[in-house]
Amino acid sequence: MKNMLIVLVVALATACMLPNDVSAQTSSILRVDTERVPWPVDSLGNKGRNVIKWNLTPFLLWDKANFNFSYERILRSHSSVSVNAGYFRLPEFASLNLDSVDVTNDKSRNGFSVAFDYRRYFAKRNTRWAPDGAYWGVWTSYHQTYFDNELNALNSNGDYINVKTKGKFGIYAIGAEFGYQFLIGEHFTIDLVLVGAGFARYSFSVSLESDGEIGETEILDRIIEKLVEKIPGFDELIDTGELDGSGKLNTSAIGLRFMLQIGYRF
């Protein structure tokens, strides 16, 4: 599923960069027409200045329970603001295939995410007003998720010990972005954030409780190893910081953001 998403993003990104002879021939005429029309357009009123979108990225990459939606409001002919919020959680531990560790109870996984964007659509490059065409912008986001699980782990004596683990993972990020939004007809949109570089602050904490003697460090290393495979950017978090004695980690790193959203304009 992750590979399919990457292929789709690359294909759409390539399509938005290809020259279009029809649009090239008419772009100057359309641009002159739009520049002469005052904003907002009286005949439209508020119609066409709002876009509701479904952010498919966390749904496709991490967990089918992740539903994130955004609302984009067109401010002027070539600028907008948007807010994105929704439910966000990690993949279930039962799918991590931990060596010598069985997940007996995936008790709870929950969390949330929220993000804000300010966009400037390229007036000279685009032939239509926002929300159509290439844009750049600034963004900030926060993701937080919790997990609570019960495990059976094999100790050095060959016995399985019950282990309870609880954790919290958070990311605060801020940065700049470049993207392209396709306006299909007058209402439907496909929104791609192609490049979203920024500064990210990561926080991760985990606690383990066991019914007997167990190599907690070894179990924790296995959990982290599998989370690195599931969560983009988690490897950078682990590489740039170390868990303290209480199982907490805080560090900063360069983060990347990309999104695929489908929407409806009204």
Q: What pLDDT score does 21 carry?
A: 41
Mean pLDDT across 217-227: 67
Q: Which residue has the higher pLDDT, 75 or 218?
A: 75
Residue 93 banded pLDDT, cuts 50, 70, 90:
low
When pLDDT is cut at 50, 70 and 90, the band that residue 25 belongs to is very low
Flag whether pLDDT at 6 surpasses 80: no
Contact 192, 222 (CB under 8 A): no
pTM: 0.74
- Judge whether residue 181 has pLDDT over 60: yes
200 backbone φψ class: left, alpha, beta (φ>0; ψ -120 to 50): beta
pLDDT at position 24 is 40
Who has greater pLDDT, 97 or 85? 85
Tens-place pLDDT, residues 31-51 = 444 555 556 555 445 568 999
Q: pLDDT value at position 214?
A: 64
More confident residue, 6 or 259: 259
Tokens of 193: 């954030």
- What's the confidence (pLDDT) of residue 261? 97
Confidence of residue 95 (pLDDT cuts 50, 70, 90): low
Distance (Å, whole) CA 11 – CA 77: 28
Is the predicted pLDDT of residue 264 greater than 70, yes or no? yes
Highest mean pLDDT among 128-142, 205-219, 230-244: 128-142
The residue-averaged pLDDT of 18-25 equals: 42
Q: How confident is the model at residue 163 (pLDDT cuts 50, 70, 90)?
A: confident
Residue-level pLDDT at 40: 59
Please say if the pLDDT value at position 86 is more than 90. yes
Instruction: Work out the burial of residue 8: count CB atoms within 10 Å of its CB; fewer than 13 is exposed, 13-18 middle, 19 or more buried.
Output: middle
Structure-model confidence comparison of residues 96 and 61, the more confident one: 61
Is the distance from CB of 36 to CB of 214 less than 8 angstroms? Answer: no
Split at pLDDT 50, 70, 90, the class of 74 is very high
Report residue 26's pLDDT band, with 50, 70 and 90 as the boundaries: very low
Give the confidence band of 120 by pLDDT, cuts at 50, 70, 90. Answer: very high
